Chain A
Amino acid sequence: MEMLILLLPLLPLFSAALNHVSYKQAGHKAAKTSVAFGVINFILAVALLAMVMGGDKTSQVALFDSWGILIADPLSVLMALLISGISLIVRIYSIKYMIEEAGYGRFFMLLDLMTATLLLMVTAGDLISLLVAWHLVGVLLYFLLGFDSRSHTAYRYAFWTLITYRVGDIALVLAAGLLFHAYGTWSLSEIFAAVTENPGAHQYFGFVLEELVGFLLAIAAFARSAQFFLHTWLPYTMDGPTPVSALMHAGIVNAGGFLINRFSPIFIQTESTLHLLFIVGLVTAIIGSVLMLTQNDIKKALGYSTMGQMGFMIMECGLGAFSLAIYHLIAHGLFKGTLFLGAGTVINKARKHDGVPQDDLYTFVVERQSAQQRQPWLMMVGITLAVPIIILFLAHWLVAQNFFQNQGAIVLLFFGWITGAQLLFTTYRMHTQNIWRLIGIIILSFTVIVLGYAFISHAFDLFLYPDAAFREQIYAAAGIDIFWFNVLVLLTTAIIVASWVLIYYSEQNHMSEQKKITQWWIRFYALISREFYIIDFYSWLTRTIFKAATRLNVLLRWR
């Protein structure tokens, strides 16, 4: 097993070296070498996962005395499989997609290096290796996004990515410095054992070490996973090659969720960091989704969609659902990778044929034509509010009876409830020959999805965190005072129920159609279309910094 872990990052590194030596002579060879090594890597990752699932204990191998430790535990092998898989797909896709690009061989070399670095990142068993990999991912991504050396725009936005990532690197370096100072070792397993054995033993600058480190790790995760205020790089990096966008959105951007899971023994000892994760994640999820809805560029819309999904992933961590975040990032990685790799074909097809299906779904969703004949609104309110919540409760009760004791689980159920209710509400207004048949199919689909989600996420929970007490500790760390939690739950429920009743009532009486567009609504739209002026703010800040630096240079006579 030790040899397999070692080979995991070394194989793509070897492939990159081979490509560097040979790509000038034969571009195609580079692609073939890269894919061949990718296949072996994927098989290795599958074998490692099978071993860990088969009950092999967590094992590790050290390249050097104090660093270069690689570990194979459930989290690392699962992430390694995801990275190897997506990287292999991206490489296969790139064979034809990049064929006409100059520097074809260089592209595969960079992809190999990126794969090696990502694999080092997820298998790193010590702080130094993690820092090296974490930092290098940003540097390599900069060159992959700026692959077209003629494009100033590509480099401009690649730079945004680099500089944001560096902000996150700084936080991680500071966290590593504090951990090393406190425990005198780089080894993650030794640090986690010491933290678990004696939590709260160290204090720095008036804060408990775990709290301070948790906060710094959160910043690192925010930068990597494009959380609000550190998100501007993500939707704008679309000038890079499509395979790079796919790799970035499907794999690299998920690193925030991975980092939080890797340091879970630290996070369970914190009091407020998980709440910070919840708030930042929630804000990012909402803003990312709102901005996605207002885009008319498919790739930019996908970028903001990723931002929203990343917000949701961080929010899940903030609720204590760590393993659910891993499941989410894998599921998101697969579907977003597919969307990116398919975006080019969709755009090409749309240029030849608009592909507008003249059916009820299109006229309803795009042209916003709803049916005149509607079912009794009160009955629909009842179905909308009751059916999703019943399905959600039953599905989770089947999986784990004590599930509802966790506050985080209740909050997540709220999101499921709203999604299910929105689905039913949408259906209610659609043209169809048999509305009850449609509603029945939707409820069935919803049930299948919820059951699948509940069972798979529970399986992830058992695989990643087999210790039940540890799982409870994570949820407990994310919890708040029970009185205030109950108040918030009741208040939120009341608001949701009242909102749905109001929406149905206004729809029934055509009140929404009578509404005039107010000045406030236009202002709000302007705010969204300018992306909350955050990019303008950063541009102004950059100009100010450059002006100040130039003035200083003139003042000091360039010496």
Chain B
Amino acid sequence: MSGISILIVGLFLPLFPLSMIFNELFSRFTSAKLRIALLIVWPQVGIILAYLFEVNIPDWVITWALFTALLYAFRGLTLREIGLWTSFIATSSWAILWVVLDSDTTFSQLMFYTLGLSLPLCLLVLLCGELEKQFGAAYTGLYNGLAESLPRFSGVLVFVILAVVATPLFPGFTVMLTAIFSTSASSIITGVTISIVWLFWTWAGARLLQDLIVGTPKENGKVDLSLNTTWAYTAALGLLIVGGIYSIGGLS
């Protein structure tokens, strides 16, 4: 893979500082639909291009990708704006795909893994829109105690965040295991770095949840998700779990 092709793929499977372009675009798109489209299409383009350019990834690119993943996971720890949090975690998780790209994973598996990483983020974008509708902004620390004032919303949010931070049975878990298993035997540092990225995701996710759902609600009279919408989210999460279980079977 030539330097130019790496740079092109590095735009879509973000490598810092090219990653700033995706984050800039994501923040400019205020519509949920556009954000979802971006989250689904952007990394898939990266995967397709990587295959078109016949991937043979040098070690320094893996190091670069890991640095990007670590950088954005670390920066995600203190973010309070949920939209920005989503794009940072997206950047961090897609950068990990470089490692998976370098393993024995097939093209279709990789497309599936990428989708598995993007879909929970899409659900988070929808929830973010719901918060903006209710409170005017999707920002942690401004309001809390959602578990009490919006129980259905909080329940869905918890599961979506768990899916985003690659909790077992969600597809992200398989991606992380694939990345760690394919590298830990050749470079323990790579394995440890990916693990630290994963740890930061959990940390960032827990902070986000705590700042939103815990506490006594400041405002009452907010409208919770309808039963039908809740079931729709549940179905989506259920599908993600089925996909996760299916993908674990493909681990090798």
Which residues of A are at the interface with B, using a C-beta cutoff of 8 A? Answer: 64-67, 102, 128, 131-132, 135-136, 139, 142-143, 146, 149-152, 155-156, 159, 162-163, 166-167, 170, 173-174, 176-178, 180-182, 186, 204-205, 545-546, 548-550, 552-553, 556, 558-559
B7 at the interface (CB under 8 A from A): no
Contacting residues, chain B, for A142 (C-beta < 8 A): 206
Which residue of chain B lies nearest to A207 when distances are taken between CB atoms in the complex?
A: B188
Known contacts A173-B195, A546-B78; is-contact A66 B249 (Cβ 8 Å): yes
Contacting residues, chain A, for B216 (C-beta < 8 A): 150
Tell me the smallest distance from the CB of B72 to a CB of chain A, in Å.
10
The reply to whether B162 and A139 form a contact with Cβ atoms under 8 Å apart is yes
The reply to whether A559 and B210 form a contact with Cβ atoms under 8 Å apart is no
Contacting A170 at CB < 8 Å: which of B169, B195, B214? B195
B33 at the interface (CB under 8 A from A): no
Can you list 21 residue pairs at the A/B interface with Cβ under 8 Å? A135-B167, A135-B168, A142-B206, A146-B214, A149-B148, A150-B214, A152-B214, A167-B199, A170-B195, A170-B196, A178-B184, A181-B181, A181-B184, A181-B185, A186-B251, A545-B77, A548-B74, A549-B76, A552-B71, A552-B74, A559-B24
The reply to whether A549 and B74 form a contact with Cβ atoms under 8 Å apart is yes
Provide the bound-state CA to CA distance between A170 and B24, in Å: 32
Tell me the smallest distance from the CB of A140 to a CB of chain B, in Å.
10
Counting chain B CB atoms within 10 Å of each CB, the highest count among A64, A549, A559 belongs to: A559
Contacting residues, chain B, for A180 (C-beta < 8 A): 181
Contacting B210 at CB < 8 Å: which of A66, A132, A155, A549? A155
Contacting A549 at CB < 8 Å: which of B20, B75, B167, B245? B75
Which residue of chain B lies nearest to A171 when distances are taken between CB atoms in the complex?
A: B195
The interface size bin for chain B is 35 or more
Known contacts A142-B206, A556-B75; is-contact A131 B20 (Cβ 8 Å): no
Known contacts A139-B167, A549-B78; is-contact A174 B184 (Cβ 8 Å): yes
Provide the bound-state CA to CA distance between A65 and B188, in Å: 28
Besides the known contacts A170-B192, A181-B184, A556-B20, 14 further A-B residue pairs in the complex with CB atoms under 8 A apart: A64-B245, A66-B251, A128-B251, A162-B202, A163-B206, A166-B199, A170-B196, A170-B198, A174-B180, A176-B181, A177-B180, A178-B185, A546-B78, A549-B75
Counting chain A CB atoms within 10 Å of each CB, the highest count among B23, B77, B215 belongs to: B77
Tell me the smallest distance from the CB of A509 to a CB of chain B, in Å.
57
The reply to whether B248 and A552 form a contact with Cβ atoms under 8 Å apart is no
The count of A-to-B residue pairs whose CB atoms sit within 8 angstroms is 117
Provide the bound-state CA to CA distance between A550 and B203, in Å: 15
B147 at the interface (CB under 8 A from A): yes
Tell me the smallest distance from the CB of B62 to a CB of chain A, in Å.
16
Contacting A136 at CB < 8 Å: which of B84, B158, B167, B213? B167
The reply to whether A558 and B84 form a contact with Cβ atoms under 8 Å apart is yes
Classify the interface of chain A: helix, strand, loop or mixed.
helix
Contacting residues, chain B, for A546 (C-beta < 8 A): 77-78
Provide the bound-state CA to CA distance between A305 and B130, in Å: 46
The reply to whether A163 and B78 form a contact with Cβ atoms under 8 Å apart is no
B243 at the interface (CB under 8 A from A): no
Tell me the smallest distance from the CB of B194 to a CB of chain A, in Å.
9
Which residue of chain A lies nearest to B189 when distances are taken between CB atoms in the complex?
A: A205
Contacting residues, chain B, for A559 (C-beta < 8 A): 20, 23-24, 27
Known contacts A155-B214, A170-B199; is-contact A150 B145 (Cβ 8 Å): yes
Provide the bound-state CA to CA distance between A143 and B27, in Å: 32
Contacting residues, chain A, for B203 (C-beta < 8 A): 163
Contacting residues, chain B, for A159 (C-beta < 8 A): 206, 210
Which residue of chain A lies nearest to B91 when distances are taken between CB atoms in the complex?
A: A559
Contacting residues, chain A, for B177 (C-beta < 8 A): 128, 131, 173
Known contacts A142-B206, A149-B145, A150-B148; is-contact A173 B180 (Cβ 8 Å): yes
Which residue of chain B lies nearest to A143 when distances are taken between CB atoms in the complex?
A: B158
Contacting residues, chain B, for A552 (C-beta < 8 A): 71, 74-75
Which residue of chain B lies nearest to A553 when distances are taken between CB atoms in the complex?
A: B75
Q: Which 9 A-B pairs have the closest CB atoms?
A: A149-B147, A181-B185, A177-B184, A170-B195, A132-B168, A559-B20, A177-B181, A549-B78, A559-B23
Contacting residues, chain A, for B249 (C-beta < 8 A): 64-67
Contacting residues, chain B, for A182 (C-beta < 8 A): 185
Which residue of chain A lies nearest to B204 when distances are taken between CB atoms in the complex?
A: A549
Classify the interface of chain B: helix, strand, loop or mixed.
helix
Contacting residues, chain B, for A151 (C-beta < 8 A): 214
Which residues of B are at the interface with A, using a C-beta cutoff of 8 A? Answer: 20, 23-24, 27, 71, 74-79, 84, 145, 147-148, 154, 158, 162, 167-169, 173, 177, 180-181, 184-185, 188, 191-192, 195-196, 198-199, 202-203, 206, 210, 213-216, 245, 248-249, 251
Provide the bound-state CA to CA distance between A174 and B251, in Å: 15
Provide the bound-state CA to CA distance between A558 and B88, in Å: 9
Which residue of chain B lies nearest to A173 when distances are taken between CB atoms in the complex?
A: B180
Provide the bound-state CA to CA distance between A181 and B175, in Å: 17
Contacting residues, chain A, for B77 (C-beta < 8 A): 545-546, 549
Tell me the smallest distance from the CB of B117 to a CB of chain A, in Å.
17
Contacting residues, chain B, for A548 (C-beta < 8 A): 74
The reply to whether A67 and B248 form a contact with Cβ atoms under 8 Å apart is yes
Contacting B213 at CB < 8 Å: which of A149, A163, A205? A149
Provide the bound-state CA to CA distance between A496 and B248, in Å: 55
Tell me the smallest distance from the CB of B38 to a CB of chain A, in Å.
15
Known contacts A152-B214, A173-B177; is-contact A162 B248 (Cβ 8 Å): no
Tell me the smallest distance from the CB of B41 to a CB of chain A, in Å.
20
Provide the bound-state CA to CA distance between A143 and B181, in Å: 29
Which residue of chain A lies nearest to B23 when distances are taken between CB atoms in the complex?
A: A559
Contacting residues, chain B, for A155 (C-beta < 8 A): 210, 214
Tell me the smallest distance from the CB of A30 to a CB of chain B, in Å.
15
The reply to whether A204 and B185 form a contact with Cβ atoms under 8 Å apart is yes
Contacting residues, chain B, for A204 (C-beta < 8 A): 185, 188
Tell me the smallest distance from the CB of A136 to a CB of chain B, in Å.
5
Provide the bound-state CA to CA distance between A102 and B216, in Å: 13
Contacting residues, chain B, for A549 (C-beta < 8 A): 74-78
The reply to whether B248 and A128 form a contact with Cβ atoms under 8 Å apart is yes
Tell me the smallest distance from the CB of A196 to a CB of chain B, in Å.
21
Contacting residues, chain B, for A166 (C-beta < 8 A): 198-199, 202
Contacting A553 at CB < 8 Å: which of B20, B79, B185, B215? B79
Provide the bound-state CA to CA distance between A177 and B177, in Å: 8
Contacting residues, chain B, for A556 (C-beta < 8 A): 20, 75
Tell me the smallest distance from the CB of B53 to a CB of chain A, in Å.
26
Known contacts A139-B167, A173-B180, A549-B74; is-contact A162 B185 (Cβ 8 Å): no
Provide the bound-state CA to CA distance between A21 and B20, in Å: 44
Contacting residues, chain A, for B245 (C-beta < 8 A): 64
Provide the bound-state CA to CA distance between A67 and B148, in Å: 39
Contacting residues, chain A, for B78 (C-beta < 8 A): 546, 549-550, 553
Tell me the smallest distance from the CB of B246 to a CB of chain A, in Å.
9
Contacting A177 at CB < 8 Å: which of B162, B191, B198? B191
